[in-house]
Amino acid sequence: MPLDKIEIAKPLKQTSKMSKTILQPKIFACTNSKALGEKIAAAFGEDLGNVITSTYSDGEFQPSYEESIRGTRIFIIASTNPGPENLMELLLMLDAAKRASARHITAVIPYFGWARQDRKDKPRVPIAAKLVAKMLETAGATRIITMDLHADQIQGFFEKPVDHLYASTIFLPYLKSLNLDNLTIASPDMGGSKRAYAYSRALLSDVVICYKQRKKANVISHMELIGDVTGKNVVLVDDMVDTAGTLTKAADLMMERGALSVRAICTHPILSGDAYQRLEASKLEELIVTDSIPLTQNSPKVKVLSCANLFADVMHSVHQNKSISSNFIM
């Protein structure tokens, strides 16, 4: 038969329209971040999902999702501040979500713990930040949302997308509302100078830097001030406050050098050991933090600003595949 006589079968037309249902995202929180998770869920416009954690007598625990998450995008909110049970709970929840066939699994980590170990600073030590990144990916995270990493380059430890937020979005409006004259931004160490300069540009202020030498972890042997603070209202800027040794020593040094007042803004309030006692005894007027980590006790010197709205806005943008650039103000 000639080729021009051959009839080619045409594909059958589909008589029914295929409908594609996009399920609403679900939000869950680990035990340590339950309070923040409820605030984020409320700002997002959803209820916090139901997770039950069973604990064995030896301390082993098992989280369980008490609702279907098949085919949905889920957000798991968990700060991974030490001890290790906070990180372990997040890993177990990621693994459970992966095995329950969730479509997208986003780990929302307001405080990314173990981040101070981001490089080998001496022989025979681990790079814990990279290890944690690999564990999160292996457990099932398909995206990470975090805030004010101890070092920006930690983003490079992940192969999955990382949305790195900055608490300056929260702190700058509050600082401007104080209407401080002769404002000066200070970094408590050389490593935070980039962050201090960013704040100074936004506030059109001067910058001073503290130079410190450590005897060992959390112990400062010497501190010196680079710059003039005479007659200035100083705001110290850092990503975290642990024992508050650096902040309180810097505040006392600046008051000795003629500063009018010293405040501090720190994104993550770890506040371990004798931190609260140091704050009360210091000349620091106010410590402004976020609720990325729940406080262990109240203090009249500690002012908490919530990061819930920031995370909820970014989570909305992620779910709708929109840009998050509008959430950065410097």
Find out whether 306 and 283 touch, Cβ atoms under 8 Å.
Answer: no
CB 149 within 8 A of CB 238: no
- Distant-in-sequence, close-in-space partners of 310: CB < 8 Å, separation ≥ 6: 147, 165, 167, 169, 170, 327
Does the active-site annotation cover 212?
yes
Q: Work out the number of other CB atoms within 10 angstroms of the CB of residue 129.
A: 21
61 in Cβ contact with 90 (< 8 Å): no
Helices (H), ranges, 245-330? 245-256, 275-281, 308-319
Q: Which of helix, strand or coil describes residue 109? A: strand
> For strand 143-147 and strand 183-187, is the pairing parallel, antiparallel, or unpaired?
unpaired
Reference 139, options 100, 97, 179; nearest CA is 97
Distance between CA 150 and CA 124 in Å, rounded?
22
From the centroid of its chain, how far is CA 59? 27
Contacts (Cβ under 8 Å, ≥6 apart) of 87: 80, 113, 114, 132, 135
Helix (H) or strand (E) run with residue 53 in it: strand 51-55
17, 26, 194, 212: the catalytic one is: 212
Q: Hey, which residues are catalytic here? A: 212
